[in-house]
Amino acid sequence: MVPQSDAPFRVVFVCTGNICRSPMAEVVFRWFADQAGLGDRVVSTSAGTGEWHVGERADSRTLAALERHGFDGSKHRAKQFTLDDFDRNDLIVALDRSHERALTEWSRTSADTDKVSLLLPFDARADGVLDVPDPYYGGPEMFDDVLGMIESASRALFRQLEPAIRR
């Protein structure tokens, strides 16, 4: 999970349509890297398992939640995960077990499979919860709750990776 030589560490966050959860994780993780002075050593992206929203901005409720919490998701455009993403990334982070299953099924090699991980288990405060719930059918408060979960888990993930990224 550590990049070779001077190449940046590349992580892609994956959810269903790439308009709610994974854009949140992409933006938050990038923010942690920037705050640690490692923005040039980390590439944080996101993708969806489906193609429904390719090219679209993040859901307006996602953008509003990010903005309320001091993050900017305005540059996001949805894309679909492809097999090339296994090659491009050092870590592939699924937002729930359905995404993890899909990514594992799409894996071509054991090296691909080894890159796939769930987000919440990085956070001890998740208390055994594995899936970040999909806020799509919820209101603004659910988007805020989901962002809080993602922020906490992303902080824990970044802290775990930071020493290797600094090298």
Q: Looking at the annotation, which residues are catalytic? A: 15, 21, 134
Using the CB atoms, write b or e for 34-56: b if 16+ within 10 Å. eeeebeebbbbbbbbbeeebeee
- The H or E element spanning position 13 is strand 9-15
Of 119, 121, 124, the closest CA to residue 147 belongs to 119
Pairing assessment for the beta strands 9-15 and 42-48 based on DSSP bridges: parallel
Q: In this structure, are residues 93 and 118 in contact, taking their beta carbons and an 8 Å threshold?
A: yes
Residues 6+ apart with CB under 8 A from 137: none
State how far the Cα of 166 lies from the Cα of 31, in Å rounded to an integer: 16
